[in-house]
């Protein structure tokens, strides 16, 4: 019911507008701005273009118009913006003010221009259309890779930990732990010293020299500049003849291993065993 009333009201408005325009010659805006040679006429056509832009900018704010209608409105707005620029250039040529510098630019600033596509702007719901939204998304800036010189610039004594003790926190803690460790070590030494006091006197001196060991030990004489010192050796020192016999036996064994067969060596070992050598 409400829809029918709106249609009737719209029809009455058209009839009333037609009666008001009876007898009047409706002027059409020139297709080219250069066809207008009157400054007042150019001002009038410029204002008419601005009103049309404002009307279409208000319409394109509605996202429910549909994708195709929104794209058409956006194209019409951009076309009217270019026409407005032509009329402003013509006004300057006819001696009028330069609206590029002093005129309001609110309508131009409502649109968003795609980077790299200078001149064409998107208004209202056109900025959220599929394929348009991605154009305004900025690519994440890649972190520049640091050079070797920039990395080495931050390498100092702190990097290697040489100044860790300068903060005034670590040194007192280390000193406290050191005092505790020293006191504990002293306490343990004192306790062990008390336990061993009774048996220290009876402990045998392994470095003492006895008279009864003179038969089994060799005496080596060390001659100095002003005196002779006798040193007692606790192990038997082989003589020169013993060393020569050991060298001969070793060389003989090497020759046998090199030239004799395993069978001959085995027989020799058995013969030595039987002879008790």
Q: What is the pLDDT of residue 253?
A: 80
- So where are the chain's domains? 26-136, 240-275
User: What's the 3-state SS for the chain?
Assistant: CHHHHHHHHHHHHHHHHHHHCCCCCCCCCCCCHHHCCCHHHHHHHHHHHHHHHHHHHHHCCCHHHCHHHHHHHHHHHHHHHHHHHHHHHHHHHCCCCCHHHHCCCHHHHHCEECCCCCCCEECHHHHHCCCCHHHHCCCCCCCCCCCHHHHHHCCCCCCCCCCHHHHCCHHHHHHHHHHHHHHHHHHHHHHHHHHHCCCCCCCCCCCCCCHHHCCCCEEEEEECCCCEEEEEECCCCCCHHHHHHHHHHHHHHHHHHHHCCHHHHHHHHHHHHHHCC
**Placement of tokens 């131009």 in the chain:** 108
The CA-based angle 81-87-92, given to 5 degrees, is: 130
Report field, pTM of the whole predicted structure over 0.85: no
Distance from C-alpha of 99 to C-alpha of 233, rounded to nearest angstrom:
120
Identify whether the C-beta of residue 78 lies closer than 8 Å to the C-beta of residue 128.
no
CATH number of 26-136: 1.10.287.660
Mean pLDDT per 10-residue segment, the chain (277 residues): 73 78 68 86 89 88 87 90 89 86 64 66 84 72 79 81 76 89 90 69 55 48 47 67 88 77 75 75
pLDDT at 105: 62
Q: How many residues does the chain have?
A: 277
* pLDDT computed for residue 106 by the predictor: 58
What does the pLDDT read at residue 234? 56
Radius of gyration of the chain (CA): 58
How open is the CA angle 42-14-40, to the nearest 5 degrees? 10
């Amino acid at each position: 019911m409400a829809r029918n009333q709106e249609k009737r009201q719209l029809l009455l408005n058209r009839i009333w507008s037609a009666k008001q325009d009876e007898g009047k010659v409706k002027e059409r805006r020139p297709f080219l701005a250069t066809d207008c040679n009157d400054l007042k006429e150019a001002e009038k056509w410029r204002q008419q273009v601005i009103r049309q832009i404002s009307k279409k900018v208000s319409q394109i704010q509605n996202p429910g118009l549909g994708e195709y209608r929104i794209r058409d409105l956006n194209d019409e707005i951009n076309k009217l913006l270019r026409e407005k620029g032509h009329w402003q250039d013509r006004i300057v040529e006819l001696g009028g003010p330069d609206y590029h510098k002093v005129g309001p630019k609110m309508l131009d600033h409502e649109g968003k221009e795609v980077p790299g596509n200078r001149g064409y702007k998107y208004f209202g719901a056109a900025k959220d259309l599929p394929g348009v939204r991605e154009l305004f998304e900025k690519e994440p800036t890649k972190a520049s890779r640091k050079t070797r010189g920039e990395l080495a610039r931050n390498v100092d004594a702190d990097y290697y930990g040489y100044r860790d003790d300068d903060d005034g926190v670590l040194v007192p803690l280390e000193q406290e732990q050191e005092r505790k460790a020293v006191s504990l070590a002293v306490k343990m030494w004192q306790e062990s010293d008390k336990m061993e006091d009774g048996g220290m006197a009876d402990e045998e001196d392994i470095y003492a020299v006895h008279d009864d060991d003179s038969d089994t030990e060799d005496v080596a004489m060390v001659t100095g500049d002003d005196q002779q010192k006798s040193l007692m050796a606790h192990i038997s020192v082989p003589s020169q003849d013993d060393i020569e016999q050991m060298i001969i036996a070793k060389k003989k064994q090497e020759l046998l291993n090199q030239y004799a067969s395993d069978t001959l060596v085995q027989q020799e070992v058995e013969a030595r065993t039987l002879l008790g050598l």
